[in-house]
Structure formats: C-alpha cells, structure tokens
Amino acid sequence: MSNSSGAWKPSSVSSNALEAITRFSETPVLTAIRSSLPIAFGCLLVALVIGIVALPAPSNALTFADLSVRVAGALLPALAVAGVGLVVALAIALARNLDVAMPALLSVSMLAFGLSIPREDGISIITRVHHLGSVSLFLAMLVDLCCVGCFVALRRLIANRSVATGLASVLCIALFALLYIAHLSPASALTSLLAPLSSVGDSYIGLIIVVGAQTLLWALGLHGPALLSAIVTPIYLQMQQQNSAAFIAHQPLPHIVTTSLFLFIFPGGAGATLPLAVALLLSTQKRLRTLGRTAILPSLVNVNEPLILGLPIVLDPVLCIPFVLSPVVLATVTYWAVSQGFVARPELYIPSSLPTPIGAWLATNDPRSLILVAINVGISALLYLPFLRIYERREAHR
C-alpha cells in the first residue's frame, strides 16, 4: 500500500468508462436540466407554503391533521407552479448553453407550454395548468427540448442568425398551435406514457435500481441524484401527489415508493452517511475529527458533499463499499416495513432539507416512522464502522 496516497487507481477500462459517463453528464442539455431543476423545486416549495397558508382551514382549530390536509391539498398546484418555473429556467439555461437567442426561445417555449395543456372548454388556463400536476415537469422539459432542437437545427441550416431564429419561432408556434387545434395534447400523451413507469417505479426492483444507480454514480464522482432526477423525480412526485390526493379523500394510499420514502433511505444524504459523520467526531485521526466537526451540521439536514468530497469517498475502494451498500440495504428494510404495514405509506411531500426523523414523521404522520429511522441509522452505522476502521488505519500510515 502506498504511503503517499490512499486513492484507488482505476484500470484503463474503468477510466475510459468513467470518462465517457462524465462527458455525457456534462453535455449542454443535461447541464441545463441539472441547473434548472433546483429552481423548479424552489418554486414548488414557495408555492407549497403559499398554498398551505391560503387554503381554508378544515376546522376552526389548526391541528396537525388539519395541517396535513392543507399540505396535501397544496401539493398539486405547487407541482404545476414548479412546471411553469422549470419551463422558464430551462429555456434560459438551454439558450445560454447552446448559444441560442434567449428572448425568442423563452417566449416560444412559454407559448408552446400553454398550447400543450389539454383543452377544457369553459375552464381558465390557470385551472388547466393546475390539473397538470407533476406531469408539468415532464411537459416543461419536452417543450423546451423540442423548441431548442428546432432553433439549433435551423441555425445550422441557415447562415443568417436572425432569419434562422425567426423561422424557428414560427415553426415551433405553428406546430404546437396545430396540435392544440386538433385537440392533441402532449400533456395527455405524457400522462399515458408515465402510467407504466409509475408501476415499475413503485416496485422493489425499481426502487433498488434507482437507489443503486444514484449511489454508484456518486461513488464514481458524478452527482447521481442530479443526473437521474430529470427522469426519476417527476415520476416519484406524481406518485406522491396521488398519495396526497388519496389521503384527502380518505382512501387507501396507492403507492409505497414516493419522493418522501427516500427520507428513510438516505439519512444524512447520499450513501446514508449520517452515522459516518457522527463516527468521525470520535475518530483517532485529527484530520477526520476536524472533517467530522465540519460535516455534522450539514449532515443533519441531509447535505453531505463535505464528506463525499472531503474524505474523499469518491473512488475510494474502502468507503465506496458501505456508501453503495448501505442505501440498498436501507431501501430493502424500508420497502419491507412499509409494504407490510409496520409503517404508514408517505402521504405528504416533505423536503429532504428537514432532519430525517422530523421529515419522516411529517411525511407519514406515523410515530412508528421514528423507530424505522432509528433502525436504519443503526444498520448504516454497522455497515460503515468496520470500513471506517480500515480507512483510519490507512490514514495513520499515510
């Protein structure tokens, strides 16, 4: 073992594969989506708070149950607002990354988005956007990508930039206007396409694939959640919204796997590293204790980039093992516990920025969720500690 470095030296094959994945993740389109989704989620959270305050109280006394009903009722319009925010943010990011006229692309994308909403006679555009729910996120991406694709294609075919931009604008508007006149809604088509994806995503196999892919990509140095969120997040948000709608209607919740279920799977952030952050505080190595003091507070709100990049976990052959294994085990335990009815299914959308015990309890409205969180944190600790001891011995010999 080298004293100069504890980093793993990947083979040429794995290096080439990693380089290819990295290049793919840094393409202009994926970069634009990755930078725009946080803005959409910011819009969602603001709209959610406004909706909670604005909705009429179910009763005179504001109880936890009443607050839950408000949160559930505010989620659908909040998701629609997130879609509107995404179509704006993504159009701006795509225009910047692909060197397209931003005012034209933004205007055309917003108009195309409005024309893509299903026609409902006698119903306002605001109400129709509201009905989109989480499909609005996929619709925003579809519309923006179609429009920017047209802009880029015509710019390559026509030398005059102004003529190319004007013609692309006309073609995009004409296309979406014809679909609108013909009562052919891209939003309705997306709803039909997402139906089978929801059934796959709500399965144990689908959950393990998503969790394993996210953590494995992180272990390779790629932001797994950001890379996969364009596809995964809208699907799980849609299932979360369906659970919330069932909760309001006093019906059985249809889905096990929703956005809020991941609160149980990733305590401390990607890799379920909260126990690791705590263990570092007691490390025999000064550098690791210092890193633990830096990382512990962010870890409590599920932000663990200081750990992932500071240890580092990325490409480390020792810490990568529990980093990938722990979430897969926690996903298995969580899915089993919820599917067997030991813990309630998540009924509310709760942001991951809340501490895991609080977020899990609020999402399920079930005190037993605290027991499941404690069990998961304990399992994660048992998985991390042996590898941390190996890492400490290696650190002592560096």
pLDDT digits (tens, 9 = 90+) for 114-134: 888 877 666 665 666 666 766
Distance CA(261)–CA(256), nearest Å, equals: 8
Phi, psi (rounded to 5 degrees) for 257: -90, 110
Q: How confident is the model at residue 7 (pLDDT cuts 50, 70, 90)?
A: very low
Phi, psi (rounded to 5 degrees) for 133: 60, -140
Listed range (238-242, 265-269, 363-367) with the worst mean pLDDT: 238-242
CB of 267 closer than 8 Å to CB of 380: yes
Distance CA(314)–CA(250), nearest Å, equals: 45
pLDDT digits (tens, 9 = 90+) for 340-350: 999 999 998 88
Listed range (158-162, 230-234, 256-260, 319-323) with the worst mean pLDDT: 230-234
| pTM confidence score | 0.76
pLDDT digits (tens, 9 = 90+) for 279-323: 999 888 888 889 889 889 999 988 888 888 888 888 788 888 999
Listed range (29-33, 229-233, 341-345) with the worst mean pLDDT: 229-233
- Given a cut of 80, whether residue 263 has pLDDT beyond it is yes
Listed range (113-122, 129-138, 210-219, 240-249) with the worst mean pLDDT: 129-138
